[in-house]
Amino acid sequence: MCLIAFDWHPDRERPLVLVANRDEFHARPTRALHWWGGPTGPLAGRDEQAGGTWLAVRRDGRFAALTNVRDPAAPPGERSRGELVVDALAGDGDIEAFVFDVHARRHAYGPFNLLVGSPERLWQVGSHSAPDRVTPGLHALSNHALDTPWPKSIRAVRRLEKALSGEAPSIATLLGLLDDRSPAGDEELPDTGVGLDLERVLSAPFIVGERYGTRSSSALVLGGTARMAERTFDPAGKRIGERAFSWRPG
């Protein structure tokens, strides 16, 4: 996952509204959104190469989401980052204890950011950031620390804020929020060590590329009825599939 925007308010009837884009090499085998392992497994897509995932939720509303951190000098890590999302939902342990444990073993993974939460609490941790409780409000997480004001993150938060300003948006509306394919101007670009040409390509919330690009957009809403949906794309950015699920958490 390379871009996440979310609205977090644990005291409200609808504590979480989250939208996200997963950017990945098109050749990497992936299974679309589905329930894993029967009634106790999470709802998630699956990285068929390493076995992990980038965004997942359980029937009781516990969820986790992952982005990589853009650090060209960092080693790739011995373990797949996607297993962190799976591990976060594998048991009923305390979320705070889990993120501190992840931080202690962060060097086993390539650079990452991880969100782990439930309808009542939300924490973030990363290879470059210590565990911290996420405050209520609108947030964005891309390939740097939480709420780093990259152009794509700013655009994503503004779009989500606008969508939430009226009646509750539909899943279709949420899925389309990050379909923004315009790169940022050179004066707005961060310098992450990948070169100007690549910074331009990666600055768009939705990336179109023959080898690498946005593979899917996802939406997750927690409340009295939980909803999660995923829209998938080919290398040309054309929609090739969509799946949606709803259930009563419990």
pLDDT digits (tens, 9 = 90+) for 193-216: 999 999 999 999 999 999 999 999
Q: Is the pLDDT of residue 39 over 90?
A: no
The residue-averaged pLDDT of 5-32 equals 97
Tell me which H or E stretch contains 104: helix 95-104
Q: Are 119 and 128 in contact (CB under 8 A)?
A: no
Q: Is the pLDDT of residue 40 over 90?
A: no
pLDDT in tens, 90-148: 988 999 999 999 999 999 999 999 999 999 999 999 999 999 999 999 999 999 999 99
Beta-strand pair 239-247/226-233? antiparallel
Order of strands across the sheet with 226-233? Answer: 137-141, 3-8, 16-25, 212-222, 226-233, 239-247
Tokens of 227: 């909803």
Q: What's the mean per-residue pLDDT of the chain?
A: 96
User: Residue 134 contacts by C-beta under 8 Å, 6 or more apart in sequence?
Assistant: 8, 115, 117, 122, 123, 124, 146
Report pLDDT for 225.
96
Q: Kindly report the pTM of this predicted structure.
A: 0.96
Cα of 42 vs its chain's centroid, Å: 15
pLDDT in tens, 90-102: 988 999 999 999 9
Report pLDDT for 105.
97
The residue-averaged pLDDT of 243-248 equals 96
